[in-house]
Structure 1
Amino acid sequence: MVIDQESHVGSDGRDRVAAMSLSTSGGIRRWSPLQTAVQLMFCVASLLIAKVAYAGADLEILTSEIAGMAEKSATPGSPHGIALDMLDAIGDEAGLSVSYHFLPWLRAQKMVQYRPGTLIAPLTRTSERESHYLWITHLYDYHQVLLTMAPNRPPATIAEAANQRIGVLRSSAGVDLLEKLGVHYQAGETETMNALKLAAGRIDVWMVPDVVALPSLRHAKLDPGKFLVGGTVGATGSIYLAASPAFDPALAGRLRDAAARAAHKKKLQAIQQRYQLRSE
């Protein structure tokens, strides 16, 4: 949709463009000079807050709350999850401090592309995303699995589930996979929400990374014994630490070297074992 802006000529003879926005009814609403000033002040304040929040950290990493991968602390302390624990280990190895900024996942993915000094994790590397990011280092792998609520038999393949209501995390690699396969789905804001929807009968099948399923059920205070695991979907997914394509190449190299040292010292493997993932 194209929105035309009305041009006005001021007393000094110069064109002035009226500030406009879309109203909730779909029409065009002009902003008064005061409203425009307030909006600008809000944007500037947001940028200043973000700058202050990360002024003390060497690395700013955008993330989103994903059970088992990246979780806010319930009590004072550092965020945790397999991805964040690995990033802490890599930061320690590089001698760099790390700060995490939790955002809705789609917003984090968009924001990092336009902030050259910012990183993002845990991000699945896919062909659709390949050119939009600098892929700094591989963290771990996972598989998409199909879950149902007992006694419903879980599908062994995605083809078996094609006519059922499938829940998946919004803006995730799972969405890209289902769209590529031409399978309809319902997107949930969090995996915990998808678990609750499955328990309530609002979806029939939940497609979720294997490392995320159990922590999500626990977060939702659901009994894992009441859920059945079926087949896997697609190829193995690979989780990365990524950044804007304009990220400092020297710093990217420093992080890759630190990740290699952490792996050589078995630090990353120990974290994998703690989260009960396969160690390659």
Structure 2
Amino acid sequence: MPTTYVRLLCLLILLLPLPAWAEALQLFSVQAPPLTSNEPGQQGLVGEVVLAALAAEKLDYTLHTPPWPRAQKQVQEGRDLLIMPLSRIPAREQLYTWIAPIYHVQRAFFSLGTPVRSMAEARLQLHKVGVGLGSAQHQQLLDAGFREDQLLVLKIDENPALMLEMGRLDAWFNGIPEARYFWEKVGKHELRNSPPMTGNDLYLACSLECDPDLVDSLRRRLQLMQESGEVARIQARYARYTD
């Protein structure tokens, strides 16, 4: 009788549904170096931290890099889907489960001429500002009173830097590390920047419907990595873009 009971118990356990993350997690990202990148050994100052946390928790993952607006939509509509590096701004607050901040990014206007000194000055003087498609900075400029016809919304890659170099933009509004990275690749003139205009934390986030145990394990691991100095050591490798 006890043997039969044990067998039945084992069978019931096997029939219980496993959490979605018992299999490989689905991690959505964007090619936005030096924050996140697909380049081996240079996954970015956010990407390397997140991948190290997943490895420490022994969690397998599959990385997806669809267009950034689509990535955000898929994570919002899905379940237990991870996304990085996601800016925590008011417009997104109720759309995701926010696991942990990884890096605080500051954004500025980049130009070849005299840089603007304030958001109000930029709004009055700049007629064609490049900004990333699906990016937090696009929303931040709209919130600051920019008109859509002042903004040229571009894919997040080196194209805004190229367009600025060719004189097709008055300015480029972007995170300081990204702008420095892309300008190092394509810029031929001196890049000048305004004072930082906005700033927010870049997060590892999850779908709004996200397993609490998954959230807790990753949040705890990332906190331990912060306290041990591991996050600082990883991000120090990208210092030439952040200092």
TM interval, shorter chain, is 0.7 to 0.9
Provide closer, same or farther for how the CA distance between residues 84 and 56 of structure 1 changes in structure 2, counting only shifts above 3 A: farther
User: Contact 1:116/1:244 (CA < 8 Å) preserved in 2?
Assistant: yes
Gaps of 5+ in 1: 1-54
Alignment-derived partner of residue 42 in structure 1: none
Where 2:120 maps in the other structure, the secondary structure is coil
User: Contact 1:113/1:132 (CA < 8 Å) preserved in 2?
Assistant: yes
Alignment-derived partner of residue 187 in structure 2: 222
User: Any residues of structure 2 matched to 1:1-280 within 5 Å, and which?
Assistant: 58-73=24-39, 77=40, 80-149=43-112, 152-162=113-123, 163-164=125-126, 165-183=128-146, 184-219=150-185, 221-223=186-188, 226-234=190-198, 236-276=199-239
After superposition, what is the alpha-carbon deviation per residue over 1:157-176, rounded to whole angstroms, capped at 9, x for unaligned? 12222232111111111011
Where 1:85 maps in the other structure, the secondary structure is helix
Counterparts of 1:249 and 1:86 in 2: how far apart (Å)?
21
Provide closer, same or farther for how the CA distance between residues 63 and 217 of structure 1 changes in structure 2, counting only shifts above 3 A: same
After superposition, what is the alpha-carbon deviation per residue over 1:21-47, rounded to whole angstroms, capped at 9, x for unaligned? xxxxxxxxxxxxxxxxxxxxxxxxxxx
Counterparts of 1:93 and 1:263 in 2: how far apart (Å)?
14
Name which structure has the greater RCO, CA cutoff 8 Å, separation 6+: 2
Amino acid at match of 1:91: L
Where 2:169 maps in the other structure, the secondary structure is coil
After superposition, what is the alpha-carbon deviation per residue over 1:64-107, rounded to whole angstroms, capped at 9, x for unaligned? 1112111222xxx4661111101112112222233321111000
User: Contact 2:31/2:157 (CA < 8 Å) preserved in 1?
Assistant: no
Which is helix-richer, 1 or 2?
A: 2
TM-aligned CA deviation for residue 270 of structure 1 = 0.8
User: Contact 2:111/2:191 (CA < 8 Å) preserved in 1?
Assistant: yes
TM-score normalised by the chain length of structure 1: 0.73
After superposition, what is the alpha-carbon deviation per residue over 1:219-247, rounded to whole angstroms, capped at 9, x for unaligned? 4x224x6211222213x211000111111
Amino acid at match of 2:187: L
Counterparts of 2:58 and 2:201 in 1: how far apart (Å)?
25
User: Contact 1:147/1:205 (CA < 8 Å) preserved in 2?
Assistant: yes
Amino acid at match of 2:221: A
Amino acid at match of 1:195: A
User: Contact 1:93/1:262 (CA < 8 Å) preserved in 2?
Assistant: no
Provide closer, same or farther for how the CA distance between residues 57 and 70 of structure 1 changes in structure 2, counting only shifts above 3 A: farther
TM-score normalised by the chain length of structure 2: 0.83
TM-aligned CA deviation for residue 179 of structure 1 = 0.6
Q: Which runs of 4+ in 1 moved over 6 A?
A: none
Total equivalences in the alignment: 217
